[in-house]
Structure 1
Amino acid sequence: MINDKDIIETLEELETFLRLIETGALGLDNVAGVALATNNANGRPFVAVLDDSQQLVLGRWVSQDVYENGKDMVRYGTKKPH
């Protein structure tokens, strides 16, 4: 499910969203991963929260800037390197 009104516009907003997922603060069940993807119908980028069957549990639209520059954050998590 993707809500059109919830667009992640900045890398800081992406980091906050990922931390909510990592800590379980959104109360989602069976979360196995997070990915950046594009909608097949219109090419619009979004961040996808996936279950262990790789089915969409939750999605948020992201800006093009976040899609292009947030890949490492999604791939490696929000923990800062030492």
Structure 2
Amino acid sequence: MINDNEVIETLEELEAFLLVIENGGLGLNNVGGIALATNNTNGRPFVAVLDDNHQLLLGRWVTQDVFDSGKDLVRKGPKKRH
């Protein structure tokens, strides 16, 4: 669910978000994947954290630039490991 107005504005912020998810920092259970998507209602882009059944666990808005240029980062995962 996307219930805040926080927006990921850079690839560095996207990478940091992916690392938090990967390291279990938000306490989400059954994370099955991460995808870039668009809201069906208004077309606004977001990064989606999906569970094992491909249901949305958490979403965070992203800028159009991050949506367009962050696809490989989401597909291949972050390079930094903490």
Q: TM-score, normalised by structure 2?
A: 0.93
**Unpaired segments ≥5 residues, structure 1:** none
Deviation at residue 5 of structure 1 after TM alignment: 1.5
Higher relative strand content:
1
Provide runs of 4+ in structure 1 moved above 2 Å.
none
The equivalent residue for 1:12 is 12
The equivalent residue for 2:23 is 23
Rounded to whole Å, the distance in 1 between the matches of 2:5 and 2:59 is 12
Q: TM-score, normalised by structure 1?
A: 0.93
Secondary structure (helix, strand or coil) at the match of 1:54 reads coil
Q: How many residues align?
A: 80
2:43 aligned with 1:43: yes
**Unpaired segments ≥5 residues, structure 2:** none
Return the letter of the residue paired with 1:24: G
